Structure 1
């Protein structure tokens, strides 16, 4: 454990003892992660920091678009709409695959 981790843990423990974290929003409820389950905790944290700073990595944007398209395809659209959604889904999958290779 680094000196920074030790100091951070001490400051957190002090804040807990003083009651500074007693009334935080969401206290006592489980954390909800918007990201996919198979993303590591570290990557999820990095993505969240970047998102809060106004930056979303291309892969995250594509994965969100992919999830939205899959959700739209799960609803029964008409055949023409379904074909368009499927084409768009295939393009997103292609862009995501290309992104991963680089």
Structure 2
């Protein structure tokens, strides 16, 4: 063991003895391990950062908007407003399809799970 590992081990033991590590959030619960094996090594850190920050990829944000527009159209009774919403919906679907085509070429991970993503978010 190197010096830093020994210092860290001693500090951890000392903290345990002093009770400083009692009642930590998640204490006694299993760790949630993320399966990032489908993401290329060079992209994993970026994906983890975005996920922890609560940021969705652009195509999933658009997919959420598509779902919302579908719901709005289903409950809309004004024909002019329905036409405007349908126009927005078509633009979003087009944008989504363009993004997915680009992602297929550039990201084997995304193309591998494309069908699962489509199924989960409504089959578009």
Equivalent residue for 1:56?
56
1:48 & 1:89 partners in 2: Cα distance? 30
TM-score (norm 1): 0.51
1:48 & 1:92 partners in 2: Cα distance? 26
1:48 & 1:61 partners in 2: Cα distance? 17
Query: What secondary structure does 1:65 align onto?
Result: helix
Equivalent residue for 2:28?
20
TM-score (norm 2): 0.42
C-alpha spacing 1:63/1:80, structure 2 compared with 1 (3 Å): same
2:48 & 2:93 partners in 1: Cα distance? 23
Equivalent residue for 2:21?
none
Equivalent runs, 1:1-102 vs 2, <5 Å: 20-21=28-29, 50-102=50-102
1:48 & 1:77 partners in 2: Cα distance? 43
C-alpha RMSD over aligned residues? 2.8
C-alpha spacing 1:68/1:51, structure 2 compared with 1 (3 Å): farther
Deviation at 1:56, TM superposition (A): 1.4
2:60 & 2:89 partners in 1: Cα distance? 15
Gaps of 5+ in 1: 1-18, 22-41
Query: What secondary structure does 1:20 align onto?
Result: coil
2:67 & 2:86 partners in 1: Cα distance? 12
C-alpha spacing 1:71/1:49, structure 2 compared with 1 (3 Å): farther
Runs of 4+ in 1 over 6 A off after TM superposition: 46-49
